[in-house]
Structure formats: C-alpha cells, structure tokens
Amino acid sequence: MPYISIDLWDKRVWLAIEVNKIAMPLITVERVKIINELKKIIKERKITDIVIWLPYDLYWKNTKQLDKTIKFREKLKNIFPEIQIHSEDERFTSFASDQILWSNMPTWSADRDSMSACLILESFLKRVD
C-alpha cells in the first residue's frame, strides 16, 4: 500500500512518501497548488492512503491550524473518495526533526518540515505494521 503524508501549513505543504516501508521526503508544494499536485502524485504512484498530521497543542486542545487541517481533511475525503485518509498526531515532530538533523549532520540545512512529514508517516507506519 503506497502511503503519502501531508504536513499542511497556510502557505506551503510538505509531502513524504512511503517507499518499501521507509518514509522519505517527496516535495514541498504551495498550498494553493496542493490538490492538483496530489491528483498527479496519486495517479502516478498509485497511492492508496493519505496520512495527514493533526496539530494539537501539548494538552490535546484544538488550535487554529488544527481546525484548518480538519477542514482540509474533509475536503480530501470528498475529492478522493477511493483513498483512505488517516490522521496522525504531530506533536513534537519539529523538535524530533531538529534533533535528527542536527545530531546527524550539524552542517546540513535540510528542511525540518520535510523531516516532520517523514516522521509523521513513520509514526503511522509503525502503528499499522
């Protein structure tokens, strides 16, 4: 089952993809272009499942970004009814991304949001494996 994960923000969206049960960064897309890009990726890569992050705060309270993400998730369900849409708690992924990036390659300027998208997908894959 090919999976793709979505780290959704107001201006940009970071995507990661599962390849042989390994989460890898895919692309960064402008928010206004995400649906068209997803249509293309889903068709080309035969994606069966989408994992979208849920940005709760530390105490499981809703955030403004969470409300936007839930609306986006509902939009995805309507546009892609044949695709399974899953949600994953994303708390601490930015912190974990920083730890991975800086402890392994302190001079690397990789995008922490790309790494976060990978960690969200990796977390989900561990739960369903």
The structural domains of the chain, ordered by start, are 3-128 (3.30.420.140)
Inform me whether the pLDDT recorded for 128 exceeds 70. Answer: yes
Give pTM, 2 decimals: 0.73
The pLDDT, as a whole number, for residue 108 is: 46
Burial of 38 (0-12, 13-18, 19+ CB in 10 A): buried
Q: What is the pLDDT of residues 21-75, one digit of tens each?
A: 888 888 889 999 999 999 999 999 999 999 988 877 666 666 787 889 999 999 9
The pLDDT value recorded for residue 101 is 46
109 pLDDT tier (thresholds 50, 70, 90): very low
In the structure, what pLDDT confidence band is assigned to residue 114 with cuts at 50, 70 and 90? low
The mean of the pLDDT values for the chain is 79
Flag the least confident range among 9-18, 61-70, 82-91, 117-126.
Answer: 117-126
Helix 64-79 vs helix 34-45: angle between axes, to the nearest 10 degrees? 50
Task: Identify the pLDDT of residue 115.
Answer: 64
